[in-house]
């Protein structure tokens, strides 16, 4: 994952509704794994876009690059 902005899924919160996968037109998610969100092409994500995260009913999507300390662990104690 070379880009500095792409979605990071909190799989504990995710209910696998598939909304994020349907929303993205940039090939970021693996559609063959729908409705489970799997990021396979982070380079396709548009910097600053929060389209999928804004539609997530579980608020389970954050963005690398939007997390102040760039921590990617999804642990609630340090990232929220």
Q: Which residues of the shown chain bind ligand SF4 in the complex (CB under 6 A)?
A: 7, 9, 14-20, 23-24, 26, 28, 35, 37, 45-46, 49-52, 56-58, 60-61
CA atoms within 13 A on the CB side of 17: 15
- Cβ 75 to ligand SF4 shortest distance, Å: 17
70 phi, psi to nearest 5 deg:
60, 15
CB-wise, 57 or 78, nearer to ligand SF4? 57
- Cβ 32 to ligand SF4 shortest distance, Å: 14
| The dihedral sign for the CA sequence 73, 75, 76, 77 | negative
């Amino acid at each position: 994952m070379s880009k500095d902005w792409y979605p990071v899924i909190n799989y504990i919160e995710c209910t696998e509704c598939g909304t994020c996968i349907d929303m993205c037109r940039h090939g970021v998610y693996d559609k063959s794994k729908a409705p489970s969100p799997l990021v396979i092409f982070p380079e396709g994500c548009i910097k600053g876009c929060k389209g999928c995260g804004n539609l997530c009913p579980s608020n389970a999507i954050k963005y690398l690059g939007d997390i102040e300390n760039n921590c990617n662990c999804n642990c609630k104690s340090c990232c929220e």
